[in-house]
């Protein structure tokens, strides 16, 4: 005879198995199909976080932060433009060029 306790255990076990099966895939569809763009965009997002943190800590003025955000936006727009020429992908050369721009901007943000 199936008791409520057994049903609850089975439900929890199935839920756990279902969640572990879906989370086993570490990469999303976007990350799998656009790894270079994912890397560039992740880095731009982190630099955005660093800019905001530096403003909170008083290391950057709001004016400096706005200027850095504007440059960050331009790099992101350039990445999108590059991808539009190659069916949504960027080449390794384009990735290197974008990373170089991000390196220059990163030095302006500070540590």
Average pLDDT over the chain reads 79
Angle between helices 92-109 and 62-84 (to 10 degrees): 180
**Region 71-83: what's the mean pLDDT?**
92
Considering the domain boundaries, does residue 17 fall inside one? Answer: no
Considering the domain boundaries, does residue 2 fall inside one? Answer: no
Give the total number of structural domains in the chain. 1
Q: In terms of Cα–Cα distance, which of 93, 60, 90, 57 is closest to 76?
A: 90
What pLDDT band is residue 110 in, cutting at 50, 70 and 90?
confident
Looking at residue 71, what is its pLDDT? Answer: 93
Q: Return phi, psi of residue 26, to 5°.
A: -75, -30
Considering the domain boundaries, does residue 42 fall inside one? Answer: yes
Considering the domain boundaries, does residue 103 fall inside one? Answer: yes
Considering the domain boundaries, does residue 14 fall inside one? Answer: no
Q: In terms of Cα–Cα distance, which of 102, 101, 89 is closest to 31?
A: 89
pTM: 0.68
Considering the domain boundaries, does residue 71 fall inside one? Answer: yes
Considering the domain boundaries, does residue 3 fall inside one? Answer: no
Tens-place pLDDT, residues 6-47: 545 555 554 544 544 444 455 776 566 678 888 888 988 999
- Asked if residues 72 and 44 have their Cβ atoms less than 8 Å apart, the reply is yes
Considering the domain boundaries, does residue 47 fall inside one? Answer: yes
Domain containing 96 equals 31-109
- Minimum mean pLDDT range among 27-36, 38-47, 76-85, 98-107: 27-36
């Amino acid at each position: 005879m199936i008791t409520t306790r057994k049903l609850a255990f089975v439900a929890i076990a199935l839920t756990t198995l279902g969640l572990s099966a879906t989370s086993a895939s570490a990469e999303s569809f976007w990350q799998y199909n656009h790894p270079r763009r994912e890397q560039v965009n992740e880095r731009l997002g982190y630099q955005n976080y660093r800019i905001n943190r530096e403003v909170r800590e008083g290391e950057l003025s709001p004016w400096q932060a706005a200027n850095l955000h504007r440059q960050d936006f331009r790099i992101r727009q350039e990445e999108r433009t590059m991808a539009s020429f190659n069916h949504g992908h960027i080449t390794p050369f384009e990735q290197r060029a974008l990373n170089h721009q991000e390196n220059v901007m990163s030095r302006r943000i500070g540590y």
